[in-house]
Amino acid sequence: MDALSRIPQLLVYGVISGSILALGGIGVSLTYSILGFSNFAHGDIMALGAYLALGLLALFTGLGLSNTPFGPLSFGFSFTLSFALALGLTALAAVLIDRILYKRLRHATSVILMIASIGVALGLRNVLQFCWGPQPQYYIEKIQLAIAVPGLGVRIKPDEVFIILVAVIVVTFVHYFLRHTKMGKAMRAAADNMALARVSGINTERVILWTWVIGGALAATAGILAGIENKFITPELGWQMLLSVFAAVILGGLGNPYGAILGGIVIGVSEEVSTAFIPTGYKPAVAFVIMILMLLIKPTGLLGRRR
Amino acid sequence: MSLLKVEDVTGGYGDMEVLHEVSLELHSEEVVTVIGPNGAGKSTLMKMIFGLLKPTTGDVFFAGEKITGLSPDRIVRRGMAYVPQVENVFPSLTVQENLEMGAFILADDFSQRTEEVYELFPILKGRRKQRVGKMSGGERQMVAMGRALMLDPHLLLLDEPSAALAPNLAALVFDRITAINRTGVAILIVEQNAKESLKLSSRGYVLASGRNRFEDTGEHLLANKDIGELYLGA
Amino acid sequence: MELFVGVINYLVFFAITAGTYGILALGLNLQWGLTGLFNIGIAGFYALGAYASALVCGPLPSAWDSRVFGGFGMPFPVGLLAAAVVCGVVALLIGIPTLRLKADYLGIATIGIAETIRLVLKNESWLTNGVWGLQQIPSPLYDPIHKGVGALLRGHADWPSWAHDLTSQAYNWFYLILVLCALLSLYFIMQRLTSSPWGRVARAIREDESAAAMCGKNTFSFRLQSLVLGAMMMGIGGSLYAHYARFVSPSSFEPLYGTFLIWVMLVLGGSGSNKGAIWGSFVVWGIWAGTDFLTRYFPVTATQAASLRIIVVAVLLELVLVWRPQGLFRRGPSH
């Protein structure tokens, strides 16, 4: 029973990749609930974040900033700084894309918006490819050793612990923001009923701005963490993850950020555990099959959806 | 001087003309009801007053100033509030949060105003943290009105406030409307349930096929047998 | 004169590809333009049709192939039919569970389906030869025409070289005629379909499905028929591609060519219009080919040039969506 014995380790991998999917999925759910369409460019915004971090890292390294690793992690100060700045830049990019394009299509049908987002996806991806080329790029060259977790019979790398921690912290922030801040509540209100929000005097364009800021920052986080996990990034990163992200979102309930978190973990774990039983080449299909099953059985998702 | 003056407003949705030269007037602290059969254009009129629709011709004046064509968020700041007929609350937010959304544009502390609104709707006092989506129709209608009152408007527009409510809940809603009016807010109501609404209105308008048909005091309209037959359904 | 012939030969090649894409665009117009089905998985049907036709018509597996299936050596029309049938059947199987879904969901589902098809083509080497693809796909009437042209040229060795260049491309002319015949036939079929009672119901479903259902129409059945017919057309396009290129592999059907470009073609031409679908495919393919020439003069690498061209098409799509969403060749209001 070799397959079964691998499952605990695959569960660990699943939680790691699931955390990344969850971060990507929250952004998709927020965009869907407030702007009314599924953003097919979200994956490529994740890739944009990853590449911006790469570029900033190169810049800071060139400027002489040190990247001596913090403790057992494989990166140091300049990478952390690049990470933080990349979040801001990606959020800015998301807002700019909205101002240039989606804002002019506010009253268009959701299908037109989706087609437009497919155009953005391909445009972004090829801008990245134009600037950095199609070959894989690395944040860190060294390979990190996994440490055995005492008692559980699994191994995990310090970087991977970092990934999970970051995901938990970010999700907590988002939760706090949505529940306890004025803008967060306004976003939830707009997700419930955009027309009523307007009628109440809420500045809906500002709500939309914040949606892109948060969505962009979350996407960048997911992209960079994916880069840390996979060790390298390519311009195709976003498209490769898109289907799994959408599957997570639909599984949890399209439009429900908490559903995206649950869905992310479930999809992540399912994809990894499936490799014990079916060829790895079919891993993306696992997410797809789960999604289809969900759509057939309970289209509103595990936690229900908005709109 | 009237608080609200609608002058010969014509228009509708796209090419479809729903209203033809409709006029209406409302004074401070008055309660006015617009009644008429289905499809008469009552809701359309209200949307035009609040800026959700633009009239093709005609004007709307509020507190002496022309507000024709202004967007709703500008009109809200001038002291008018609107409660739509359906989907008039934020279901996944709590009662407290719904009220907070009503006061979104206020920068200062509005906790006193919040308490005043809870005084108007005592039923909601014990339910601040309850999600509105899980509440009954009557309670939701109170939250909807409460949300609109948070900015202390001079004029409140209510689109069919008792629609889809059982008679006892509708009576409760009308009772609250009277209470709101007593605090000095003028109210314009559009209603199918004409009888109850006219009882608490000083004046009323009858609209049919997008045109003014009658205008009189609430009492006279109630007593008028022709109108009773044609327009005052149960 | 040489240059002129060179241009003509290029235009023939251009028109073959544009015409093939035109067939795909017509299929999408049936699904999306007429019936409102948001299909982002065109590449999947395109690939299926190409592979089905290739396996049915192609040679038996060679000693180097990992595949064990196929190679029935059937004539071209059988391949064409096989492509249409396979795509139709797969569309039927896919449509039954997914067609009740709302546009957002259907779109994502179709991406997933196209991805799954691509994964199967890549992984099931016993069937498809995996990443190495299928080679030596026979082109219809290839040998007879080439022999005839060869004989003609040998008999007229005194002809100027431009005449040689022109005549030696005769097979491409034949293939162009083949593609144009297919395109025009399908165009006329689509025109008849659009103006028929069937077409009216499909359009009604697109505008307002619940209203159409209330009139007693089985909306699900209509949408399924539309999906299947559109997919069959895409399969035919795939077959025509395979027999021209004479080689297919999973990477020939990147979502870009197979799906995105077709959408841009239809949006630009005017979704809902069959004429628009065809015009759009020629215009967009023209822009695509044109940017190929232009970027040769830029100081960029080959992959960078490819990226630039995609960015140009993406920007074009956004410009059309914002400024003329009803498309360039369509009269009347937009969808």
pLDDT above 70 for C69: yes
Is B109 touching A (CB cutoff 8 A)?
no
In a domain, A257, yes or no: yes
In a domain, A163, yes or no: yes
User: What is the pLDDT at residue A304?
Assistant: 79
Q: Which of A30-34, B208-212, C12-16 is least confident? A: B208-212
Count the residues in chain C: 335
In a domain, A305, yes or no: no
In the complex, which subunits touch A with 3 or more CB pairs below 8 angstroms? B, C
Q: How far is B85 from chain A (nearest CA, A)?
A: 11
In a domain, B106, yes or no: no
Between β-strands B186-191 and B57-62, what pairing exists: parallel, antiparallel or unpaired? unpaired
User: Which residues in chain A have their CB less than 8 angstroms from residue B88's CB?
Assistant: 196
In a domain, A306, yes or no: no
In a domain, B92, yes or no: no
* Whole-number Å distance between alpha carbons of C54 and C51: 5
In a domain, B149, yes or no: no
Cβ contact B15:B64 at 8 Å:
no
In a domain, B209, yes or no: yes
User: What is the pLDDT at residue A307?
Assistant: 43
In a domain, A303, yes or no: no
Answer yes or no: do A105 and C322 touch at CB < 8 A: yes
Is B79 touching A (CB cutoff 8 A)?
no
In a domain, B11, yes or no: yes
User: What is the pLDDT at residue C335?
Assistant: 45
Answer yes or no: do A188 and B84 touch at CB < 8 A: no
Q: Which domain holds residue A127?
A: 2-297
Answer yes or no: do A201 and B73 touch at CB < 8 A: yes
pTM, two decimal places = 0.90
Average pLDDT value for residue range C69-97: 89
What pLDDT digit, counting tens, does each position of C277-322 carry? 999 999 999 999 888 888 888 888 888 888 999 999 999 999 999 9
- Look at chain A and report how many structural domains it folds into: 1
Answer yes or no: do B100 and A182 touch at CB < 8 A: yes
User: What is the pLDDT at residue B21?
Assistant: 92
CATH number at residue B29: 3.40.50.300
Chain A residue with minimum CA distance to C40: A115
Cβ contact A233:A136 at 8 Å:
yes
pLDDT above 80 for C215: no
In a domain, B125, yes or no: no
Q: How far is A195 from chain B (nearest CA, A)?
A: 9
The predicted complex's ipTM stands at 0.90
Cβ neighbours of residue C177 closer than 8 Å, sequence gap 6 or more: none
In a domain, B79, yes or no: yes
CATH number at residue A121: 1.10.3470
Between β-strands B57-62 and B4-13, what pairing exists: parallel, antiparallel or unpaired? antiparallel
Is A205 touching B (CB cutoff 8 A)?
no
* Whole-number Å distance between alpha carbons of A98 and A106: 10
In a domain, A302, yes or no: no
Residues 7-66 of A with CB under 8 A from C: 32, 37-38, 40
Is B76 touching A (CB cutoff 8 A)?
yes
* Whole-number Å distance between alpha carbons of B6 and C60: 83
In a domain, A64, yes or no: yes
* Whole-number Å distance between alpha carbons of C231 and C287: 26
Mean pLDDT value across chain A: 91
Answer yes or no: do B92 and A306 touch at CB < 8 A: yes
Answer yes or no: do B89 and A191 touch at CB < 8 A: no
Answer yes or no: do A196 and B84 touch at CB < 8 A: yes
Q: Which domain holds residue B49?
A: 4-86+154-230
User: Which residues in chain A have their CB less than 8 angstroms from residue C109's CB?
Assistant: 291-292, 295
Q: Which of C98, C122, C321 shows the shortest C-beta gap to A105?
A: C321
User: What is the pLDDT at residue C146?
Assistant: 83
Q: Which residue has the higher pLDDT, A296 or C52?
A: C52
- Look at chain B and report how many structural domains it folds into: 1
Q: Which of A114, A279, A288 shows the shortest C-beta gap to C115?
A: A288
Mean pLDDT value across chain C: 87
Percent of chain B with pLDDT over 70: 98
Chain C residue with minimum CA distance to A104: C322
In a domain, B121, yes or no: no
User: What is the pLDDT at residue B144?
Assistant: 96
Q: How far is A241 from chain B (nearest CA, A)?
A: 30
User: Which residues in chain A have their CB less than 8 angstroms from residue C97's CB?
Assistant: 292, 295-296
Alpha helices by DSSP H, chain A: 2-35, 42-63, 77-100, 110-132, 158-180, 182-192, 194-199, 204-230, 237-252, 257-274, 283-297
pLDDT above 50 for A306: yes
Residue C209 binned pLDDT confidence (cut-offs 50, 70, 90): confident
Percent of chain C with pLDDT over 70: 98
Average pLDDT value for residue range A222-232: 93
pLDDT above 50 for A9: yes
